[in-house]
Amino acid sequence: MSGAVPRDRSCAAALLGLPGMTPVRLARLLDGMGPRVAWAAVRAGAHPADPSRRFTAAARQVDPDEVVTRYAAAGVDVLLPGWTGYPAALVGDPGAPAVLCASGDPTVLEARPAVAVVGTRSATPYGAKVAADLGRRLAAAEVVVVSGLARGIDAAAHSGALAAGPGAAPPVAVVGTGLDVPYPRENRALWARVAAAGAVLSEAALGTEARPMVFPARNRIIAALADVVVVVESHRAGGSLYTAEAAARRSIPVCAVPGSVYSAASAGTNELLVDGCVPVRDADDVLAAVALARQGRGMVGPASSPAARGRADPGDPGPVDRLERAVWEAVDDTPTTVETVLLRTDLSLAALTAAGEELVERGLLTAGAGWWSRA
Amino acid sequence: MIASIPSAVLLGVDGRPVSVEVHVSNGLPGLTMVGLPDAAVRESRDRVRAALVSSGFLWPRRRITVNLAPSGMRKAGAGLDLPVAIGVLVASDILAPGAVSGLAFVGELGLDGSVRDVPGTLVLADALRHLRVVVAEAGLDEARLAGGDCVSAPTLAELVARCTGRRPWSDPTPSVPSIAVADGGRPPPDEGDLADVLGQPVARRALEAAAAGGHHLLLVGPPGAGKTLLATRLAGLLPDLDLPMARQVTRIHSAAGALPSGAGLVIRPPFRAPHHGVSAVALIGGGSAAMRPGEIGLAHGGALFLDELGEFPVAVLDALRQPLEEGIVRVSRSRGSISYPARFLLVAAMNPCPCGEAGVPGSCRCSPASRARYARRLSGPLLDRFDLAVRVERPAASALVARCPGEGTGPVAVRVRSARQRAAARGVAVNAHLPARVLDEAAPLDDGARVLLERHLVTGRLSARGLHRVRRLARTLADLDDDGDVLSDLHVAEALFLRGGRGLLLGEDVR
């Protein structure tokens, strides 16, 4: 990084903080132009993306160095695309924030798969439990849980991820308010814990209060960060459906947790299922979807961990002994009766079943009533 | 004048001594019978009268009262004909009381005076062992199995002549009939040879384990897979009964009237295969006043084969649970209760679902609901009793069969016998009877086996009771393979697999 970075950072922060600034306007101002050049152009009233000089007067009142000092005092980093910490998943995204604020360590997203666990703010106990379980088990499988730190499902997913214990992947939150304005207030403690363990991201300037439209907008970031989006509970036309929609536009798989057909809190998710989303019962289903998604994009499978190993790449049985290898090779991709395998391998039934047990335990075979198939 | 003649009647599988008291007095001619006779006993009045007259004796034109003591017990069967006839002869002074002292009588009379055999002769003779028992000629061999002193006579007239000493008891030497149990050898050809079964390595292994360890076996498979053929081959795999068991089995078969005349002791284990239309009483026993043993009693010491298990009435199947657990049937009726031994190997066969094709996913055409309904016919507790539940597939293509030639009954029976000898060294007849408290000693686990079982316990695929059953089964499998005292994960894995379970019926035991 060059010595110009501090000046770029302060100018970006200053632009972000101008009154009336929106993500779309900011993106236009910084389109094809560095922050320093854009700042100077705005101040000079000569920016081609601001012909009406909307920001010029305000910009002349602001000292970028003073702005960036305020950010540093609040522990907030200001990131531009391509900088360390700016999530790689957002680079090249059509809706990527031109400037991103981060507290905590946003590099936790690097080299780890990410799953967005989102849902309604008025969650049922069922939804909250599912979200917490998913959060905990996904984090334990070294998957970064991304959510919005809202009430209900979001909070449950973050709490679950934080409860996964040492060695688990830290959670990442994307919020709609400024990073010095915890919202909702009851999640303040959780907010701080997420920031301490992982990262809290926002495209809003410091001091930005909660406004109705900021939340749907930040949902696109959540979707873009994730390999897979899981909607745990959503009312019909609920906010988390924006996340699902944003994911669908980016060809990111959307999974939904089925709920009771009588539960209004599941009306949206059940509708997603009717529309063909992948149903999710537990973290294993999600991990399978993650593996598929990353495979489809030519990436490696999910990080190897005890929980993730259950869904190892089915093409490779890994280091197994010769006998187990022979058994695995005698089993088809479709259900194969144990008797057929017995005839193909010439093993004793005892040796065969013991090897089969081991392969099932390692997730290489699926066992049914009297049959096996490759997992 | 009064006569008292010893005899016996059947109750369950036991003989109960009965005293037939006959009183002849002045009064209106006729014969009254008291002491709770059932229909067959009451009809003996007419048979006895005709038999006496056709044997050349005078029917007393006086009042005859017959009392069957103890009078509180209901008496069944025609075996009291002979003692009643002798009693009438003694009470009417045709036969001297001294001529029949020390004798007991069991037999049915024909109208021509001939003496006929009755069911349960062995058991009845056993109940009267302190006396010399007179039976029909056809029942003499059977009666002598009881070990007492038995004689016979072809007709009533001949019997009277022999009692009075005018004719000798000209029976063949009362040698003890052959009760030496032949040592295994070749099973009778009518039991079928296992070589008839082509392929089916898994089902064969399960059948062998069932025969060796006394583990109940459920065969599940589509129609035409050979379930019945397999099950009937079990009879040939079971070793001969030992002497005490042979005596017990012979008694039960005698009491049920199922002992062929002149057959001697039953030394081959019985194989009973009642049709699925069987009633609960016919299966469990206790029908007539004699409380005749049912099919499961007759299967004692051998095997009970229930083909098309799903077609049996639910009540009938659930009646099996108590005897399966205790090895004893208790039948209680208003007229009394009896118990008899019923320790048998249960072998059952059924289709996996109404269409019969369920197995690997996608092969069944039934709706999940109808499949669940079918599976529900078998209660969980009954299904739990099956240590072995395996799928029988239709024999594979001939090429596969050629690689797995069927082993004949002979060599398999040898392995079964030696496995049973190991069980006997542990103090039980078969491993399935090993008490849970001796399992740590009789079936110790190595580390691999322990890890495997713990995994199945933790994930809820195995219950505590299932654990014991799996260990017993693994013990049997290791015995069959001659594989030392400590169970390895190999045989435990095999036992877990052969245990199958409810998933075989529901087809959804995916994990």
Give the pLDDT band of residue B501 (cuts 50, 70, 90). Answer: low
Contact B173, B144 (CB under 8 A): no
Q: How far apart are CA B440 and CA B393, in angstroms?
A: 36
Q: Flag whether pLDDT at B500 surpasses 50.
A: yes
Residue A353 contacts B, CB cutoff 8 Å: yes
User: Which chain A residue has the Cα nearest residue B206?
Assistant: A349
Residue A318 contacts B, CB cutoff 8 Å: no
Q: CB count, 10 Å around CB of B108?
A: 21
What per-residue confidence (pLDDT) applies to B504? 65
A155 or B224: which carries more pLDDT confidence? A155
User: Which chain A residue has the Cα nearest residue B459?
Assistant: A361
Q: How far apart are CA A218 and CA A203, in angstroms?
A: 8
Best of A282, A357, A374 to mutate (most B CBs within 10 Å, chain B): A357
Measured between CB atoms, which of B400, B496, B504 is closest to A370?
A: B504
Q: Where are the domains of chain A?
A: 1-73, 106-296, 314-374
Q: Given an 8 Å threshold on Cβ–Cβ distance, is B491 in contact with A350?
A: yes
Lowest mean pLDDT among A115-124, A311-320, B409-418: A311-320
Q: Given an 8 Å threshold on Cβ–Cβ distance, is B360 in contact with A351?
A: no
User: Which chain A residue has the Cα nearest residue B501?
Assistant: A369
Is the C-alpha dihedral spanning A325, A329, A332, A337 positive or negative? negative
What per-residue confidence (pLDDT) applies to B369? 76
Q: Flag whether pLDDT at B348 surpasses 70.
A: yes
Closest CA to A203 of A115, A87, A78: A78
What per-residue confidence (pLDDT) applies to A310? 38
Q: Flag whether pLDDT at A1 surpasses 60.
A: no
Residue A339 backbone zone (phi > 0: left; psi -120 to 50: alpha; other: beta): alpha
Q: Flag whether pLDDT at A298 surpasses 50.
A: no
The mean predicted confidence, pLDDT, of chain B is: 83
Q: Flag whether pLDDT at B26 surpasses 70.
A: yes
Residues of A in contact with B509 (CB under 8 A): 368-369
> What is the mean pLDDT of the segment spanning A187-207?
93
Q: How far apart are CA A257 and CA A283, in angstroms?
A: 11
Residue A348 contacts B, CB cutoff 8 Å: yes
- What percent of chain B has pLDDT above 90? 24
What per-residue confidence (pLDDT) applies to B64? 93
Give the pLDDT band of residue A179 (cuts 50, 70, 90). Answer: very high
Q: How far apart are CA B386 and CA B269, in angstroms?
A: 20
Residue B20's contacts (CB-CB under 8 Å, 6 or more residues apart) are B4, B5, B6, B7, B66, B67, B68, B80, B83, B84, B87
The first and second tokens of residue A303, run together, are 């990080």
Q: Flag whether pLDDT at B223 surpasses 90.
A: no
- Between positions 367 and 396 of B, the ones with CB within 8 A of A are 390-391, 393, 396
B507 to chain A, minimum CA–CA distance in Å? Answer: 6
Model-level pTM? Answer: 0.60
Q: What is the pLDDT of residues B117-159, one digit of tens each?
A: 888 888 899 899 899 999 998 888 888 888 888 899 999 999 9
Q: Flag whether pLDDT at A120 surpasses 60.
A: yes
What per-residue confidence (pLDDT) applies to B263? 64
Give the pLDDT band of residue B404 (cuts 50, 70, 90). Answer: low
CB-neighbour burial class of residue A360 (10 A; exposed 0-12, middle 13-18, buried 19+): middle
- Provide φ and ψ at A367, rounded to 5°: -110, 140
Give the pLDDT band of residue B217 (cuts 50, 70, 90). Answer: very high
Q: How far apart are CA B221 and CA B214, in angstroms?
A: 22
Give the pLDDT band of residue B405 (cuts 50, 70, 90). Answer: low
What per-residue confidence (pLDDT) applies to B378? 80
Residues of A in contact with B391 (CB under 8 A): 337, 339, 369-370
A308 to chain B, minimum CA–CA distance in Å? Answer: 16
Q: CB count, 10 Å around CB of B72?
A: 8
Going along A150-204, which residue ranges are E strands?
A: 172-175, 199-202
CB-neighbour burial class of residue B296 (10 A; exposed 0-12, middle 13-18, buried 19+): buried
Q: Given an 8 Å threshold on Cβ–Cβ distance, is A337 in contact with B511?
A: no
A237 to chain B, minimum CA–CA distance in Å? Answer: 35
Q: Which residue has the tokens 């049915």?
A: B108
Give me the helices (H) in A17-169, please: 23-29, 35-44, 56-60, 64-73, 125-140, 153-162
Residue A273 contacts B, CB cutoff 8 Å: no
Which residues are registered as beta bridge partners of B19?
B6, B69
- As a CATH number, domain B2-163 is 3.30.230.10
The first and second tokens of residue B123, run together, are 């058991």
The first and second tokens of residue B424, run together, are 């006997």
Contact B499, B467 (CB under 8 A): no
B500 or B324: which carries more pLDDT confidence? B324
Residue B457 contacts A, CB cutoff 8 Å: no
Q: Flag whether pLDDT at B173 surpasses 70.
A: no
Which helix (H) or strand (E) segment holds residue B87: the answer is helix B81-91
What per-residue confidence (pLDDT) applies to A82? 87
Q: Flag whether pLDDT at B382 surpasses 90.
A: no
- Between positions 200 and 219 of A, the ones with CB within 8 A of B are none
Closest CA to A9 of A40, A29, A36, A32: A36
Closest CA to B77 of B47, B108, B32, B49: B108
Cα dist from A35 to A28, A70, A71, B322, whole Å: 12, 18, 16, 86
Residue A361 contacts B, CB cutoff 8 Å: yes
Give the pLDDT band of residue B186 (cuts 50, 70, 90). Answer: very low
Lowest mean pLDDT among A318-322, A342-346, B479-483: A318-322
Residues of B in contact with A349 (CB under 8 A): 201-202, 205, 494, 497-498
A314-374: CATH class: mainly alpha
Tell me the range of B306-310, B399-403, B462-466 where mean pLDDT is highest. B306-310
- For residue B195, give the amino acid letter: A
ipTM: 0.75
Measured between CB atoms, which of B201, B489, B501 is closest to A339?
A: B201
Q: Flag whether pLDDT at A311 surpasses 50.
A: no
What per-residue confidence (pLDDT) applies to B359? 67
Residues of B in contact with A333 (CB under 8 A): none
- What percent of chain B has pLDDT above 70? 89
Residue A122 contacts B, CB cutoff 8 Å: no
SS3 A301: coil
Contact A100, A203 (CB under 8 A): yes
Residues of A in contact with B362 (CB under 8 A): 335
| HSE-CB for B125 with a 13 A CA cutoff | 28
Provide Rg for chain A, Cα atoms. 24
> What is the mean pLDDT of the segment spanning B505-509?
49
What per-residue confidence (pLDDT) applies to B455? 86
Contact A243, A116 (CB under 8 A): yes
Residue B482 contacts A, CB cutoff 8 Å: no
> What is the mean pLDDT of the segment spanning A2-17?
82
Measured between CB atoms, which of A336, A343, A367 is closest to B201?
A: A343
- Between positions 74 and 103 of A, the ones with CB within 8 A of B are none
Lowest mean pLDDT among A191-200, B163-172, B208-217, B444-453: B163-172
Q: Flag whether pLDDT at B177 surpasses 60.
A: no
- As a CATH number, domain A106-296 is 3.40.50.450
Residues of B in contact with A338 (CB under 8 A): 202, 497
Question: What is the architecture, at CATH level 2, of domain B189-506?
Answer: 3-Layer(aba) Sandwich (3.40)
What per-residue confidence (pLDDT) applies to A137? 92
Contact A143, A117 (CB under 8 A): no
Residue A338 contacts B, CB cutoff 8 Å: yes
Contact A299, A111 (CB under 8 A): no
Q: Where are the domains of chain B?
A: 2-163, 189-506
Q: Given an 8 Å threshold on Cβ–Cβ distance, is B391 in contact with A366?
A: no
Q: Given an 8 Å threshold on Cβ–Cβ distance, is A370 in contact with B500?
A: yes
B477 or B179: which carries more pLDDT confidence? B477
The mean predicted confidence, pLDDT, of chain A is: 86
Contact B282, B250 (CB under 8 A): no
Q: Flag whether pLDDT at B13 surpasses 60.
A: yes
Provide Rg for chain B, Cα atoms. 28
- What percent of chain A has pLDDT above 90? 42
Q: How far apart are CA B124 and CA B145, in angstroms?
A: 11
Q: Which residue has the tokens 């959503």?
A: A234
Given the DSSP bridges, would you call strands A228-231 and A254-256 parallel, antiparallel or unpaired? parallel
B278 or B380: which carries more pLDDT confidence? B278
B172 or A130: which carries more pLDDT confidence? A130
Residue B129's contacts (CB-CB under 8 Å, 6 or more residues apart) are B146, B147, B148
Are both B2-163 and B189-506 of the same fold?
no
Q: Flag whether pLDDT at A143 surpasses 90.
A: yes
